[in-house]
């Protein structure tokens, strides 16, 4: 590897409308906007960020994980303005089985414009071709219609439905598991 290129810089990608670039600490303010918004968090089933410090820790942890090869994290940005629109992660990489869990979100003003499908398609292809991944898994709240639609558009299959397997905020929630294997996309 060229020593002037850091590991985190290797993963910048481009689509028709987007630049998908590695996270920077300065992205914390955007992550805070996303993870403190009730509509965005409605079916994420993870903790709200109550302060910018929560988001700084989140971004710093993700950057560390990426450096250690445990996951990959992208900022989804507008190609023409550079504006931060959302995030996409392949987290919890299972190296033995070349399998990654995915997670994603967009600021609300960028919903319903096809941006997530565009980003997801590019990143998942990159993972198969360049990161040596063989399959992906997405775990969604069954009420998260918009997330399900993204996954189905890409070609994910529903492989499991777990009843009340996830305890969050005083309730046992159901989960749907969607999967994509390399031959589904390539």
Ligand X SMILES: CC(C)(COP(=O)(O)OP(=O)(O)OC[C@H]1O[C@@H](n2cnc3c(N)ncnc32)[C@H](O)[C@@H]1OP(=O)(O)O)[C@@H](O)C(=O)NCCC(=O)NCCS
Q: Which residue is nearest to ligand X (CB)?
A: 114
Q: Least separation, in Å, of the C-beta of 150 and ligand X?
A: 5
Tokens of 71: 């996951």
CB of 119 to ligand X, least distance (A): 8
3-class SS of residue 183: helix
Nearest distance, CB of residue 111 and ligand X, angstroms: 4
Q: Token pair for residue 101? A: 């869990």
Instruction: Quickly count: other Cβ atoms within 10 Å of residue 178's Cβ.
Output: 22
Q: Rounded to 10 degrees, what is the CA torsion of 169, 170, 171, 173?
A: 30
At residue 119, what are phi and psi to the nearest 5 degrees? Answer: -70, -45
Binding site for ligand X (CB under 6 A): 40, 43-44, 104-106, 111-117, 140, 144, 146-147, 149-150
CB of 23 to ligand X, least distance (A): 17
Nearer to ligand X, 75 or 116 (CB): 116
Pick 83 or 146: Cβ nearer ligand X: 146
Residue 44 or 124 having the CB closest to ligand X: 44
The smaller minimum CB distance to ligand X, of residues 90 and 106, is found at 106
CA distance readout (Å), 78 to 16, 75, 82: 10, 10, 5
Query: How far apart are the C-alpha atoms of 113 and 116, rounded to whole Å?
Result: 8
């Amino acid at each position: 590897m060229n020593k002037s290129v850091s590991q985190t810089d290797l993963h910048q990608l481009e689509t028709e409308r987007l630049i998908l670039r590695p996270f920077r600490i300065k992205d914390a303010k955007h992550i805070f906007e996303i993870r403190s918004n009730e509509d965005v968090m409605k079916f994420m089933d993870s903790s709200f960020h109550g302060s910018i410090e929560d988001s700084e820790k989140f971004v710093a942890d993700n950057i560390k994980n990426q450096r250690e090869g445990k996951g990959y994290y992208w900022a989804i940005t507008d190609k023409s303005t550079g504006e931060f629109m959302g995030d996409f992660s392949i987290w919890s990489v299972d190296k033995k089985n070349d399998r990654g869990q995915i997670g994603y979100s967009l600021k609300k003003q960028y919903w319903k414009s096809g941006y997530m499908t565009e980003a997801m398609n590019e990143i998942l292809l990159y993972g198969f071709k360049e990161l040596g991944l063989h399959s992906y898994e997405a775990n969604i709240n069954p009420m998260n219609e918009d997330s399900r639609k993204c996954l189905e558009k890409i070609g994910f299959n529903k492989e499991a439905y777990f009843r009340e397997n996830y305890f969050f905020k005083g309730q046992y929630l159901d989960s749907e598991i969607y999967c994509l294997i390399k031959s589904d996309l390539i």
